[in-house]
Structures are given as C-alpha cells and as structure tokens.
Amino acid sequence: MRSLLLLLLLTIPFLLPAQEAAESDPKERIEKRLRLADELEAQGDKEGALQILKELSELDEPNAGLGKEGADLQRRIGNILMESGRSQEAIPHLKRAIKSQGGEDDFKALGRGLLEAREYEAAVSLLEDAAKRFPESPDFPYLATFALGALERWDESIAQFEKTLELAKDASPRRIDKYFHYRHAAAHEKAGNFDKAEVLFRKTLELIKSNDSDGDASAFTPTVLNHLAYMWIERGENLDEAGEMAKKAAELDPDSGAIADTVGWWHFLKGDYPRALAELKKAERLIEQADPVIYDHLGQTCAKLNEKEIAAEYFRKALELDPRNEALKARLAEVTQ
C-alpha cells in the first residue's frame, strides 16, 4: 500500500502540467464558455448568457482563437440585445458583425436597430449602402420608408415605397399588405398628393375587407377610415362621405380620442357647434397625451359659441404645446381683444 501511494505521489507531478496545459488551451476555454452561454440562454437567463458572450468579445480575437467566429459572436450579442429591447446597446455589436462578415441579414438587423434607436439619418445612410450591395432585396427600400418618414422626407419616402413595390411583387408579395398600402397612402397625404392618397386609402380598406386573415379588421379599419375622413374634412372636401366614415370609425372604436376629434371637427364644419363641442370634449377626455390640435378645435368651437374666456384657455393650452403656431396666436388675440 505504501509503495502504491509513493508511486502515485511520484506520478501526479508529471500528470498535472499536461492537465493544466489542456485546460489552458484558448479554444477549449472558449468552447466551454460558449456551451455555458448556450445553456444559460436555453434556461431563459439571457443576461447571464450576454455577460459571458461580452467577456469573450473583449478578448483579442486572433490570439484567443476566435478568428472568423468573431462575427458570429458579435451577431449573437446584438440579437440578444435587440430581443431585449436594448437597440442602442446592440448597434455597436451589429456594426462589428458587418465589418467582419457582413451579409444581407446583418445589414437588415443593423437597419432595424438604428430605426428602433431613432437614429434615422444613420439608418438612411446604411440602407442606401445595403440597397447597392443587395439590389434585388425589397427589404432595404422598405426599411428606408420608415426612416425617411420619421425625417418627414416624404418625396424620398414615396420613391422607396415605389421601389419596394417593384422588387417585392415577385420576391415577397406578402410584404405588400394593408399596412404597406396604408403607410404609402399616408406618405402621399403628407406630400400633398391627396388624390393618390385617397386611392391608396381605399385600396387599404378593400384589402382589409377581402382578406382579414390575421383577425384585426375591427382594430385597423377605424384607423384607416379616420385618416381618410380627416384628410377630406381638413380640405373641406367630400364632407358627407367623410362624416359617414368618421362616424363608422367611432362606432368601431368608441374609445379613440383621435376619432372623436374627427367627428367633432366634422360637426364644426357643418355648423353644429353644440354637437361639435360634445364630441371634442369627449376627445379631450380620451386622449392619453395633451394634443394641441384638439385644444385648438375646442378653442374655435367655444369661440363660435361665444364662450371667449374658455376659448382663450384652450388656445393658451395649445400654444404651450405648439408655441410657434402663428394661427393659434392670431386666434388667441381675437378672443382676448
């Protein structure tokens, strides 16, 4: 027994260096850490997985043995952060993935990250570059419509809608759905192309009616009806049809402050100021955030009812939210003379 113990004691010192050498191998350590990250993510511990992946990403990639796998690592970190709603943190990692091995999906992921982070100018620049690299993909002009719309560059946005239509008709026709047509219509309306906007709003309503596969017609229909009705009401056109659309929208969504405002403003233009006031007061109760347009409408309605002090209060509220609005200033001056 004593001789066996002695043999073990003599052997262990020779075995330890080999074991330590195996454990100190960079690739083996990385693989172990990656397996642990996989397990944590599978268990729902995204934060734990993220910590391990970030630690690995901070290593010197050539010396650590990551090599071309570094792009996958950055991509994985970016995707986890995006799924967690942390787009601002995801952006640097998605950029590194593109720099290492940027494919079409990497550009899409970074484009979405920039949009979610509201970095619209950077998104436009990236998506223009991506569209040149992948000219057959409808996804890049489609994503560009969101960035350009946020920047109120409506003519450019419309051009990207048209490009998406051309590319998607064969490659991904499902992208051209009711939401696409609605946003396309809204861009034309903002650009002042009212006839084209009307055609597209009507097209949206037709698509909702004919194919409600996702079951949200009752939720989306009032939004479209209201938008088209308000466009007409603001221009003083098609008032009868606009009124019917607005009232239909209100039936479908009675808790919408925006729709109640449209109905109220329609009554105002028809000269029924008491009805207008009732609807506009309802809009004021329903809105989640103070809206200068609703306050302005209430002010104008109160002025018509000879309630000048109340009108002035509403105009002041509107100006607090929209201090550069010269029309509001003039209306306030008129009721306070």
- pLDDT per residue rounded down to tens, the chain (337 residues): 444 333 333 444 444 444 444 455 667 777 787 888 888 878 888 888 888 888 777 764 544 444 456 778 888 888 888 888 888 888 988 888 888 767 899 899 999 999 999 999 999 999 999 999 999 999 999 999 999 999 999 999 999 999 999 999 877 777 889 999 999 999 999 999 999 999 999 999 999 988 765 555 568 999 999 999 999 999 999 999 999 999 999 999 999 999 999 999 999 999 999 999 999 999 999 999 999 999 999 999 999 999 999 999 999 999 999 999 999 999 999 999 8
What is d(CA 109, CA 79) in angstroms, rounded to the nearest whole number?
A: 8
Backbone angles phi, psi at 212, to 5 degrees: -105, 55
> What pLDDT is attached to residue 33?
77
- pTM greater than 0.85 (yes/no): no
SS3 content of the chain, % helix, strand, coil (to 5): 80, 0, 20
Cα separation of 149 and 188, whole Å?
11
Strands (E) in 106-146, as ranges, are none
State whether residue 57 is helix, strand or coil: helix
The answer as to CATH 2.30.40.10 being correct for domain 177-280 is no
Please, are residues 180 and 149 in contact by the beta-carbon 8 Å criterion?
A: no
* Assigned CATH for 289-337: 1.25.40.10
The residue count for the chain: 337
Residue-level pLDDT at 19: 45
- Other Cβ atoms less than 10 A from the Cβ of 125: the count is 13
Separation between Cα atoms, residue 198 and residue 231, nearest integer Å:
9
146 φψ region: left (φ > 0), alpha (ψ -120 to 50), beta (else): alpha
Instruction: Determine the Cα–Cα distance for residues 151 and 130; give it in Å rounded to an integer.
Output: 19
Per residue, the 3-state secondary structure of 193-262, as one string, reads CHHHHHHHHHHHHHHHHHCCCCCCHHHHHHHHHHHHHHHHHHHCCCHHHHHHHHHHHHHHCCCCHHHHHH
Segments making up each domain of the chain, as ranges: 27-39+46-55+70-102, 120-172, 177-280, 289-337
Under 8 Å between Cβ of 259 and 290: no
Please, are residues 54 and 77 in contact by the beta-carbon 8 Å criterion?
Answer: yes
- Residue 54, classed as helix, strand or coil, is helix
* CATH topology agreement for domains 177-280 and 289-337: yes
Q: Which two tokens stand for residue 337?
A: 């003379």
- Identity at 9, one-letter amino acid code: L
CB atoms within 10 A of CB 121: 11
Q: How does 40-61 read in b/e, with b if 16+ C-beta sit within 10 Å?
A: bbeeeeeeebbebbbebbebeb
